[in-house]
Chains A and B, each alone.
Chain A
Amino acid sequence: DIVLTQSPGTLSLSPGERATLSCRASQSVSSSYLAWYQQKPGQAPRLLIYGASTRATGIPDRFSGSGSGTDFTLTISRLEPEDFAVYYCQQYGSSPLWTFGQGTKVEIK
């Protein structure tokens, strides 16, 4: 089974700062099958990035994804107040079909 490890667990930043979130896979993952989600308290996850680097519909361009193989990154260029949330990476594989990282919480410093 592929394990996705996200780091850091918590990121304390101020609005306007840059956020860099990491997702490391225990085995190589196809870039086509790596996605990022944002989740706020009491809400369902929202798709941000798919195919490692393609923004989903309606996602602002301050969100960007990169990486390949076992190392992937979500970058938020300038944090807006509404960006403080938990972020999950997810991969599509064989068994289990979907694997999620444990999440990175971006909190206001």
Chain B
Amino acid sequence: EVQLVESGGGLVKPGGSLRLSCAASGFTLSSYNMNWVRQAPGKGLQWVSSIRSGSTYIYYADSVKGRFTISRDNAKNSLFLQLNSLRAEDTAVYYCARGTTMSDVWGQGTTVTVSS
């Protein structure tokens, strides 16, 4: 079964850091571009970052540029998102999603709460 499973979310104070992970199974991660999308409580979907299959190209939303870092370990079939300098407005469910122009496979999400 094709599956993405996120982990690493939690409660963190403003200014703190977290590292999110996304484990892929049922397909070869190295063949796909990957993305992170977030959803604040009661709000819509917001694209966060994308990474090409070979990590050659990386993209970020302006709201997270300079604070978040996307990476991948194709050998371990894993995707990562390092979140630094966290703000209250980063509170959201973070989804990893497979695809380039759209996503046909999404994880169940991991919740990040930034609060003092």
Question: Which A residues lie at the B interface, using CB under 8 A?
Answer: 32-33, 35, 37, 39, 43-47, 50, 56-57, 88, 90, 92, 95-103
Set of chain A residues within 8 Å of B95, measured between Cβ atoms? 44-45
The 4 closest A-B pairs by CB, nearest first: A98-B47, A35-B102, A92-B101, A44-B106
Evaluate contact between B104 and A92: CB separation under 8 angstroms: no
Set of chain A residues within 8 Å of B50, measured between Cβ atoms? 97-98
| C-alpha gap A103/B46 in the complex (Å) | 11
- Can you list 9 A-B pairs with a CB-CB distance of less than 8 A? A32-B101, A45-B103, A46-B106, A47-B103, A88-B44, A90-B102, A98-B50, A100-B46, A102-B44
Partner of A50, one of B61, B62, B101, B106: B101
Evaluate contact between A45 and B45: CB separation under 8 angstroms: yes
Set of chain A residues within 8 Å of B103, measured between Cβ atoms? 45, 47
B interface SS class: loop
| C-alpha gap A35/B37 in the complex (Å) | 15
A-contacting residues, B27-84, CB 8 Å: 35, 37, 44-47, 50, 59, 61-62
Q: How large is the interface on B (under 10, 10 to 19, 20 to 34, 35 or more residues)?
A: 20 to 34
Set of chain A residues within 8 Å of B61, measured between Cβ atoms? 96
Instruction: Answer whether residue B100 sits at the interface, using C-beta atoms and an 8 A cutoff.
Output: yes
How far in angstroms is the closest Cβ of chain A from B56? 15
Set of chain A residues within 8 Å of B100, measured between Cβ atoms? 92
